[in-house]
Amino acid sequence: MSTAPSAVDLLLEDGSGRRPRADARRNVERLVRAAREVAAEGGGEITAHEIARRAGVGVGTFYRRVSTLELLLEAVLAEVLGEIIVRADEGLAHPDPWEGFSAFASSYIRLRNELCDLNHALGGTLDHARAELRDRMSMLVGRAQDAGLMRADITWEDVAFLLVSVSTGGHTVGLRAGELQWDRNLRVILDGLRTPEPAPLPGSPPTAAVLTG
């Protein structure tokens, strides 16, 4: 089973083998959490000033602890990708191929937004790591199909695009997303991949948005 790398450890590693001061580690932990928050929200520019603000530290502390924005984002990108791979390995180890695939899909749709925003901010550096993720997705889909638990007329590439379609925005055609909207979307996708009985939808349906201005 693979282990996700820690962005904090990657940033604090200086080759000396010495333990960093507790306050230094706390500041780096705050910066990593803040960077992930910004990336998870998506749609905006990831800046050192915004990360520092959310972390509750000054910009000077930001650069003293992580040197550059790129180094911070590279470490966080490695951490998020590692978490996705761990979730995939857990899915492959699950005794039920369908439950393993479903659990991975639920984790993936949330982590993917962070991954894509970080990758975009770094100019597409994820290219070299895509093979590892593709292999895991292919194995998860193949395992479920071999067990007769997923329709056989689709490919893992189809599944990759279907999972991307789950993570919609918060509004569309005057509607506001319902509670657990992504979970509802995912349940419909999963039921389309599986036969014969659909599962109950989680959360509530979308509602009309209150328009202002």
Q: Is residue 210 part of a domain?
A: no
Give the mean pLDDT of 145-170. 88
Residue 15 clears pLDDT 70, i.e. is over it: no
pLDDT tens-digit series, residues 66-100: 989 999 998 998 888 889 999 999 999 999 999 99
Half-sphere exposure of 26 (CA within 13 A, CB side): 5
Which own/partner pairs from 107-113 qualify as long-range (CB within 8 Å, at least 24 positions apart)? 107/83, 108/84, 108/163, 109/163, 109/166, 109/167, 109/182, 109/186, 110/40, 110/167, 110/182, 111/80, 111/83, 111/84, 111/87, 112/84, 112/163, 112/164, 112/167, 113/39, 113/40, 113/42, 113/167
Report the domain count for the chain.
Answer: 1
Q: Is residue 50 part of a domain?
A: yes
CATH code of the domain in which 44 resides? 1.10.357.10
Give the residue numbers spanning the domain of 79: 7-167
Q: Is residue 172 part of a domain?
A: no
> Tell me, what's the pLDDT at 110?
87
Q: Is residue 146 part of a domain?
A: yes
Asked which of 31-45, 59-73, 145-159 is least confident by mean pLDDT, the reply is 31-45
Q: Is residue 114 part of a domain?
A: yes
